[in-house]
Amino acid sequence: MTDHDPTDPTATGLDRMLSDAFSGVRAGGRRPSISDVQRRARRHLHRRRAGLAVGAVALVGAGGAALAARDGSTGTTAPAGAGDLDDPQATATFPATTTTCVVYVDTTTTDVRPSDQGLSPTSTLLCGEVITDDQGQYRCEGEGRVGDDGYTYYDYCEQVWPWADVTTTIIWPEATTTSVEYPPATDPGLSPSSTVPGSYNGNTDTTSPALLPSSTTSAP
Amino acid sequence: MSDATIPLAADVTPIQVQVKEPFDALYHREFDRMVRLATALVDRTEEAEEVVQEAFAQVYLRYRVVENPVGYLRVSVLNGCRKVLRRRAVARRWRPDPGDTAGLGFDHVLDAVRRLPDRQRRMIALRYQLQLTDNEIAETLGVPVGTVKSTIHRALARLRTEVPHD
- The answer on pLDDT for A191 being more than 50 is no
pLDDT in tens, A26-85: 777 678 888 888 888 887 776 665 555 555 555 556 665 665 555 554 433 333 333 333
Distances (CA, A) of B41 to A71, A159, B105, B118, B123: 58, 36, 11, 11, 12
CB A195 within 8 A of CB A131: yes
Task: Return the amino acid letter for B4.
Answer: A
For position B19, what pLDDT does the model report? 65
- The answer on pLDDT for B20 being more than 80 is no
For position B76, what pLDDT does the model report? 92
Nearest to A4 by CA among B133, B37, B50: B133
CB B151 within 8 A of CB B140: no
Task: Return the amino acid letter for B136.
Answer: E
Which residue of chain A is at minimal alpha-carbon distance from B164?
Answer: A14
Identify which of A34, A45, A170 has the shortest CB distance to residue B27: A34
pLDDT in tens, A95-142: 333 333 333 333 333 333 444 444 444 333 334 445 555 555 566 665
Distance of alpha carbon B139 from alpha carbon B147, whole angstroms: 11
pLDDT in tens, B103-161: 455 578 888 998 899 899 999 999 999 999 999 999 989 899 999 999 999 999 999 88
Nearest to A6 by CA among B122, B32, B133, B145: B133
pLDDT category at B63 given cuts 50, 70, 90 is confident
Provide the β-strand partners of residue A125: A104, A211
For position B127, what pLDDT does the model report? 93
pLDDT in tens, B76-116: 999 999 989 888 877 777 665 555 444 455 578 888 998 89
Which residues in chain B have Cβ-Cβ distances shorter than 8 Å to A13? 165-166
Contacting A residues, span 136-175, partner chain B, CB-CB under 8 Å: 164-167, 170-172
**How many residue contacts between A and B have a Cβ separation below 8 Å?**
111
For Cα atoms A40, A42, A45, give the angle at the middle one, nearest 5 degrees: 115
CB A142 within 8 A of CB A154: yes
Which residue of chain A is at minimal alpha-carbon distance from B47?
Answer: A28
Domain boundaries, chain B: 2-92, 97-162
Distance of alpha carbon B53 from alpha carbon B91, whole angstroms: 23
Distance of alpha carbon A142 from alpha carbon A153, whole angstroms: 9
Contact A44 B57 (CB under 8 A): yes
Asked if A98 reaches chain B (Cβ–Cβ under 8 Å), the answer is no
Distance of alpha carbon B89 from alpha carbon B154, whole angstroms: 23
Identify which of B53, B135, B160 has the shortest CB distance to residue A14: B160
Provide the β-strand partners of residue A138: A131, A159
pLDDT in tens, A142-168: 566 666 655 656 555 565 555 433 333
User: What CATH number has the domain spanning B97-162?
Assistant: 1.10.10.10
Asked if B24 reaches chain A (Cβ–Cβ under 8 Å), the answer is yes
Other residues' Cβ atoms within 10 Å of the Cβ of residue A211: 14
